[in-house]
Amino acid sequence: MRAGAWDQLGGVRPAGNRQNDLREGGCVTAWLAVRGTVSLAAGGGIRGRTGVGLREAFSPFREQDERLLICATNSVRALDNAFLRHGRFDYVIPIGPPDLPAREAIWDRYLAAIPHGPLDMAAIVEQSRLFTPADIEFAARRTSQLVFERVLFESGDEEVGTDDILHAIGQTRRTLTAEVVAEFEQDIENYARL
């Protein structure tokens, strides 16, 4: 990313050496993969560490005040139990699939860019149950593509209707299943610390 682009992100800049970030402080965001490996935002020296090595890499960071370490994973249950012991992280905050108001807000964001008439938002939101935010984005893009093709090939209406969106939703594979959501809810019971 060119230097000027970082200024557009409110002054956020990548650090050249993530291990130095851990020693010197600041905010570091880490992604914990399902198998317990880690990659730090914007790359760097910690990538690929697991288990004990990862805890050792985080230790200098945690020993100092005014430090914020944020880690995220799609599967808390897949992480090593030693990594989840009390004292490793102050909080374990579950962020699950979007609920009804969240889905409606996500749809509103994407539909704002698509010409449309009155919509049955209750039907759209209900039919997108078990969608992640990325699934909703994909369904909205699919809706745009379907309407574009209708205008281009059929000289049809360019305004999106509820049926267009429901059709796109029907063509979009859900990332989540009832089983995945049930596992997540069990993980909240087992691991959440707020």
- Tell me which residue range forms the domain holding 36: 3-84
- Residue 129, domain CATH: 1.10.8.60
Q: What are phi and psi of 165, to 5 degrees?
A: -70, -40
Q: Is residue 166 part of a domain?
A: yes
Check residue 75 and report its DSSP letter. -
Residues 112 and 162 in one domain: yes
Residues 132 and 61 in one domain: no
Residues 75 and 127 in one domain: no
Q: Is residue 105 part of a domain?
A: yes
Residues 80 and 7 in one domain: yes
Residues 8 and 79 in one domain: yes
Q: Between vectors from CA 34 to CA 30 and to CA 37, what angle results, nearest 5°?
A: 50
| Distance set, CA 143 to CA 28, 32, 44, 49, 127 (Å) | 37, 33, 39, 41, 14
Q: Is residue 92 part of a domain?
A: no
Q: Which two tokens stand for residue 128?
A: 């997108």
The per-residue pLDDT for range 167-194, each reduced to its tens digit, is 999 999 999 999 999 998 998 888 888 8
Q: Give residue 45's pLDDT band: very low, low, confident or very high (50, 70, 90).
A: very low
Q: Which two tokens stand for residue 180?
A: 């995945």
Given 84, 113, 138, the domain boundary residue is 84
Q: Is residue 184 part of a domain?
A: no
The number of domains in the chain is 2
Asked if pLDDT for residue 145 goes beyond 90, the answer is yes
